[in-house]
């Protein structure tokens, strides 16, 4: 089981090794994980039994530290002198560099299918979730992160932050409707990837876990196939609930 401790200082990368990767995560001032991508990597690392030390950081501070290296997106994993950013790149790095660990993709075909799930979630599911909870995220963010978040919403999803607080019920219904393709797949299997979960499940589960914690209400009805699948995932990964760490100081 991975170690999910917090480390606010920036350790010397030469002292790092494969048994203690560093995971930089975008968090709010109260320490709450504020984007869906870190959860995917937490799940992947837990699945592969790889130890990790998490480093909570605001996006503004992260860019200050790493802009010269052209690193502007979180999450980022540091493995020795190597820095790998964005969840998809990190997942592929882990699969290539930890061949003795349980596989994330189950081979090349599985990797291609996971990429399809990744693309669908990025362009469809996440837009509905940000429309639903983006106003709450904005309130939780550090002041310097707010303009970056507004630009992200506008550029990635054509969403305006100042309009996010309206028509919540309609947005919730649209989100639930967007899950129809997933429901069809889940008619004959316990997990998206088959009898056991793999990275395709993590891609989908990460945003739901993230959004549920921020929304603070039921996103999915209890008789939904997606709810039943999520309950199975919750049971498997219930240990991935770290204490929040305040970064406002």
Residue 248 pLDDT greater than 70, yes or no: no
Distance, CA of 229 to CA of 114 (rounded, Å): 17
pLDDT 10s digits, 111-151: 999 999 999 999 899 999 999 999 999 999 888 889 988 99
| Domains, in order of start, for the chain | 4-97 (3.40.30.10), 108-236 (1.20.1050.10)
Residue 87 pLDDT greater than 60, yes or no: yes
pLDDT 10s digits, 12-65: 433 433 457 999 998 888 888 888 899 999 999 999 999 999 999 888 888 888
Structure tokens at 86: 């964005």
Question: Does the predicted TM-score (pTM) go above 0.75?
Answer: yes
């Amino acid at each position: 089981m991975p170690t999910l401790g917090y480390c606010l200082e920036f350790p010397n990368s030469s002292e790092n090794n494969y048994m203690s990767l560093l995971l930089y995560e975008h968090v709010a001032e109260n320490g709450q994980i504020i984007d869906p991508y870190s959860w995917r990597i937490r799940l992947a690392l837990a699945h592969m039994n790889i130890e990790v030390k998490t480093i909570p950081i605001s996006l503004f501070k992260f860019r200050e530290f790493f802009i010269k290296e052209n690193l502007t997106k979180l999450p980022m994993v540091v493995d020795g002198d190597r820095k790998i950013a964005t969840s998809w790149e990190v997942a592929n790095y882990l699969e290539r560099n930890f061949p003795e660990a349980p596989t994330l993709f189950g081979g090349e075909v599985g990797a291609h299918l996971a990429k399809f799930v990744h693309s669908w979630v990025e362009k469809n599911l996440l837009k509905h979730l940000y429309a639903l909870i983006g106003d709450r995220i904005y309130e939780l963010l550090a002041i310097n992160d707010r303009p970056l978040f507004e630009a992200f919403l506008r550029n990635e999803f054509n969403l305006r932050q100042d309009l996010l607080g309206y028509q919540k019920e309609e947005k919730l219904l649209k989100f639930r409707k967007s899950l129809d393709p997933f429901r069809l797949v889940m008619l004959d299997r316990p997990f998206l990837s088959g009898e056991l979960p793999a990275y395709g499940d993590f891609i989908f589960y990460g945003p739901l876990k993230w959004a549920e914690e921020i929304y603070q209400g039921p996103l999915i009805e209890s008789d939904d196939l997606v709810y039943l699948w999520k309950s199975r995932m919750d049971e498997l990964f219930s240990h991935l609930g770290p204490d929040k760490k305040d970064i406002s100081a």
